[in-house]
A and B are shown apart, each in its own frame.
Chain A
Amino acid sequence: MIRRSFVSAVAAASVVCATWIAGPAHAQSDTKVFRFVPHANLAVLDPIWTTAYVTRNHAYMVYDTLFSEDAQGNIKPQMVDTYSVSGDKKTWTFKLRSGLEFHDGKPVTSADVVASLKRWSSRDAMGGVLNTFIDRYDTPSADTFRMVLKEPCGIVLDALGKASSNVPFIMPERIANTPGTEQIKETVGSGPFIFKADEFQPGVKAVYLKNPKYKARNEPSSAMAGGRQVNFDRVEWVIIRDPQTQFNALKAGEVDMVEQPAFEQYNTLKQTAGVKVIDFSPAGLAFIMRFNHLHAPFNNPKIRQAAMMAMGQQAYIATQVGVPELGRVCRSIYPCGTMYADENTGDFTGVPNLAKAKALLAEGGYKGEPIVLMRPTDLASIAKIPLVAKQQLEAAGFKVDFQQMDWASLLARRAKKDAPSQGGWHLFLTAWTAGDISSPLTMAMLNAKGDNGWFGWQNEPRIEKLKADFARADSTAAKKKLASEIQAVAMETSTHAPLGQYQSPAAIRSNIDGVLVTPGVPLLWNITKK
């Protein structure tokens, strides 16, 4: 009468489980689906409303651009078929390619283009500069629009073909009319992929389908320019937060590409079967340290100079990146290997010169007041460099008050102009992709308009004037000369300290090919999967 004993019941259950588990192992990797792991969680979908890189990358999938930059940095037409400039260089006429259509089936018209350009230039720095030149826009016909300038401007094409945030993407007029400070409600573009809004789960995944009606250009792809051939029916962005899980998922074949694997995994990735490492952005990224020009002691150029003398780029690369071949010393404020990079940077060599640093400190009358250095605790990609900065500044004789906080607090505190001891700051460090700092007009640190300049609020009219000349210059040689002059002033007034350049290669399955080289944007067209 004794009921079945408990122990044997549990034993039977576990036998059943074992057979049930050993079912099919892998999710079969179907060649018509591409699974991509972005470097961050895709939250905001409006590429104008925020400059976040992940939103920019998402927008490249869904929207199309008038012009786009090729691998050599030249601006090539994309949606524009032909364009002409009037004799006095004040009127630009653009004619769109025929048959361009939005995902909701409506044709792309010049009215859509003008509305999109207006919304873009209300938020983008370079767009802002362009706006100062523009008198008005005309839309003579559905496929032609005209830009009338007050005076000749050398950066029209540079602006319309701009590679990084905010990119002048073209949206339907009804959406583009949303004010720049408000987020758009719908994602409808004319790009190579269609965004499946219903399958979008923030923090989980985003789904894009191939746009069958997309009319790709017939030139070969080169960076953002050329034909945008799509070889997949469905692309899934899979959000995986934990770097170790990203590594495991790629190894197990559950995902096809990881945009930014942790640097520590680089060597192991190279030896892992079925996986290879590719560098789609040779120009890579760069670390910088920004001074607060408003408050003592860094309002004194000598003390800023002293801090720059203490900086050793090698240590930043070694600790944050850790893989020697991925990093390089680069003295220039522009990424080495891009158009305007220039080696002559005065005394700043990127190698610590403690003697000079101490001398400058003495000259500047530094009395040892603590320097508030902010460090983000939750952003792994730049969490380690402040520790290096603290060590190097202390070696030079600075006293450092190390403030640790999460990224959101740092962004908020960075925007405060109060004195460092009352909730303000002296120093913070961050990183930029090459695309953002390859042109003086897009480099935030060169926004030296004082109180309404970039954080740090440097007031240096010489930089602003040179940037205006740069915008008017029409030949590459002239632009190069002006860029070097800007760098010279930047170094003299130490706007910020470049702390080394590094690449952040992606990791892909070995059966993937055709990943385009770009100034930092992962492009998912042109890719093939065997």
Chain B
Amino acid sequence: MLRFVASRLLAVIPVLFVVSCVVFLILRLAPGDPAAVIAGNSATGAEIEQIRAKLGLNESLPVQYGIWISKVLQGDLGHSYFLNKPVSDLILQRLEPTASLALGTIVLAILLAVPLGTVAASRMGGGLDRLLSVISVAGFSVPVFVTGYVLIYLFSIQLQWLPVQGYEPLSGKGGLWAWARQLILPWLALSIIYVALIARITRASVSEALTEDYIRTARAKGLHERAVLLRHALRNAAVPIVTVIGIGVALLIGGVVVTETVFAIPGLGSLTVDVVLNRDFPVIQGLVLFFAVSYVVINLLVDLSYLLLDPRIRY
């Protein structure tokens, strides 16, 4: 087990190297220049040049990459061109909101999607199956900013139950309740999408499991249909379901820009868009490294969870 985990973590190095090189090149080759953005509207060409020189953007690409990668290896992700803050602080600051948004959404999605998919699978092809499929897929078919606005209109403006926007840190004075209140609407808006994703995979893999011989054995033991469905079919369908949940978490960590914009939640998604639009190179590169590592770690956790779910799998 340890060797497997070690080898997977070591495999991160080449991926990180490839990813950082690719992103480094995309940024330098794509049009747009941070110095121009900093100088602002009424600057002149000369001023932009001065700022470029100060930021070291006139060095050759390999030199710039060398400087950056050597600093990263010592754990210093560098400084943002704009925000006068180390990149690591920026990411850490945005971690809690993104994590709360991501975890809440995934938990809610699983609680809704797994039963939905399992029931749909048990009544495969029936009216209920089609109805549940349409509901779960309908969630997936609406852009999240539309759902977001409608939810705000209903729950914040009309019913005034929940706040429109903002994020209260967990450690804030409001404590758990203030934190949760802010996130209920975004959780709902987002989880509708992931319910569709997870429900479809659950429906597919549970109905596939129901064709297996051990289901017939379970029924021959006189078990109630629900026990057969949950303890036998669902447990065997767990591996593909956990895989799609892993993908979901990776997407959520990557930042759900639109939801963060609509609900004004300071997540990694909106930070990504800001820094990319401003061409804040160090932060972009830091973010990409963070996403790459989190993506690989999530995949590793998913693979390790397979060990718990299916004894046949050994690494």
Residues in chain A within 8 A of chain B (CB atoms):
2, 5-7, 10, 20-23, 25-27, 41, 43-46, 49-52, 123, 125, 165, 181-183, 185, 201-204, 238-242, 244-245, 248-249, 251-252, 254, 378, 405-409, 411-415, 417, 430, 432, 436, 444, 447, 451-455
Contacts and interface: CB of A to CB of B under 8 A. Distances in A.
Interface string B16-30: 000000000000001
Contacts of B47: 123
A252 B115 contact: no
Contact of B274 (A7, A41, A240): A41
Contacts of A436: 42
B36 A378 contact: no
Given A6-B115, A51-B42, A203-B271, A254 B32 contact: no
Interface string B47-69: 11011011000000000000000
Point out which of B45, B90, B184 has the most chain A C-beta atoms below 10 A from its C-beta: B45
Interface of B: 30-34, 36-48, 50-51, 53-54, 82-85, 90, 93, 111, 115, 149, 152-153, 156-157, 160-167, 177, 181, 184, 224, 226-227, 230, 261-264, 266, 270-271, 274, 277-279
A408 to B, nearest CB: 4
Given A5-B226, A21-B184, A415 B165 contact: no
B163 A415 contact: no
Interface on chain A toward B: helix, strand, loop, or mixed SS?
loop
A45 B34 CA distance: 16
Contacts of B266: 201, 203-204
B152 A412 contact: no
Contacts of A204: 93, 167, 266
B257 to A, nearest CB: 10
Contacts of A22: 161
Contacts of A20: 177
Given A181-B51, A252-B156, 16 more contacts: A2-B227, A6-B226, A27-B163, A45-B84, A49-B38, A51-B41, A52-B40, A203-B274, A245-B264, A252-B157, A252-B160, A405-B31, A412-B32, A415-B36, A444-B41, A447-B44
Contacts, number: 157
Contact of B41 (A182, A249, A408, A432): A432
Contacts of B261: 241-242, 245
A340 B255 CA distance: 50
Contacts of B32: 405-406, 408-409, 411-412
Contacts of A165: 40, 42
Contacts of A238: 166, 264
B277 to A, nearest CB: 6
Nearest to A6: B115
A181 B43 contact: no
A447 B37 CA distance: 20
A430 B149 contact: no
25 contacts: A2-B226, A10-B115, A20-B177, A21-B161, A21-B181, A23-B181, A25-B161, A43-B83, A201-B93, A202-B82, A202-B90, A203-B271, A204-B93, A242-B264, A245-B261, A249-B166, A251-B164, A252-B157, A252-B164, A254-B163, A378-B277, A408-B36, A411-B36, A444-B41, A447-B44
Nearest to B177: A23
Contacts of B84: 44-46, 183, 185
A240 B36 CA distance: 24
B278 A43 contact: yes
